[in-house]
Amino acid sequence: MSELSFQPLLFGGDINVYSVARAFHEAYGVRSVAYGKYPSFPCHGSAILDYRVCSDNEAEEAFRRNVQAVSGEFPGKTILVLGCGDSYVQLAAHCRDSLPENVIAPYISGELLDTLINKEKFYQLCDQHGIDHPATFIYDKSMGHHFTLPWGPPYIAKPADSVAYWACGDHSLAKVYICQSWEELLESLDHIYAAGYQDHMVLQEFIPGDDSYMRVLTSYSDRNAQVTTMCLGHVLLEEHSPHGIGNHAVILTECDEDLERKIKGLLEALRFVGFSNFDIKYDRRDGKYKAFEINCRQGRSNYYVTGAGHNIAKMVVEDRIEGKDLPFQMTKNRSLWRMVPKQVAFKFTPKQYHQEMHALIKAGADSHSLVYSKDASLKRRLRVCKNHLGNIKRFDQYNKVPTEE
Q: Which domains does the chain have, with CATH numbers?
A: 6-105 (3.40.50.720), 135-205 (3.30.1490), 211-398 (3.30.470.20)
Backbone angles phi, psi at 34, to 5 degrees: -140, 140
Residue of 94, 56, 86, 52 whose CA lies nearest to 69: 52
What are the residue ranges of helices labelled H in 218-376? 257-269, 303-307, 312-316, 342-348, 354-362
Compute, in degrees rounded to 10, the torsion defined by CA atoms 251, 256, 262, 268.
Answer: 70
Residue of 117, 135, 123 whose CA lies nearest to 199: 117
DSSP class of residue 319 equals I
> What Å distances lie between residue 177 and 113, 215, 342, CA to CA?
25, 20, 29
pTM exceeds 0.85: yes
* HSE of 333, CA atoms in CB hemisphere, 13 A: 16
Q: How far apart are CA 235 and CA 212, in angstroms?
A: 5
- Percent helix, percent strand, percent coil in the chain, to nearest 5: 35, 25, 40
User: Per residue of the chain (405 residues), what is the pLDDT tens digit?
Assistant: 579 999 999 999 999 999 999 999 999 999 999 999 999 999 999 999 999 999 999 999 999 999 999 999 999 999 999 999 999 999 999 999 999 999 999 999 999 999 998 888 999 999 999 999 999 999 999 999 999 999 999 999 999 988 889 899 888 898 899 999 999 999 999 999 999 999 999 999 999 999 999 999 999 999 999 999 999 999 999 999 988 889 999 999 999 999 999 999 999 999 999 999 999 999 999 999 999 999 999 999 999 999 999 999 999 999 999 999 999 999 999 999 999 999 999 999 999 999 999 999 999 999 999 999 999 999 999 999 999 999 999 999 999 999 865
DSSP class of residue 296 equals S
* Sign of the dihedral through C-alpha 132, 134, 137, 139: negative
> What Å distances lie between residue 400 and 8, 149, 239, 314, CA to CA?
40, 29, 11, 38
Q: How far apart are CA 136 and CA 355, in angstroms?
A: 37
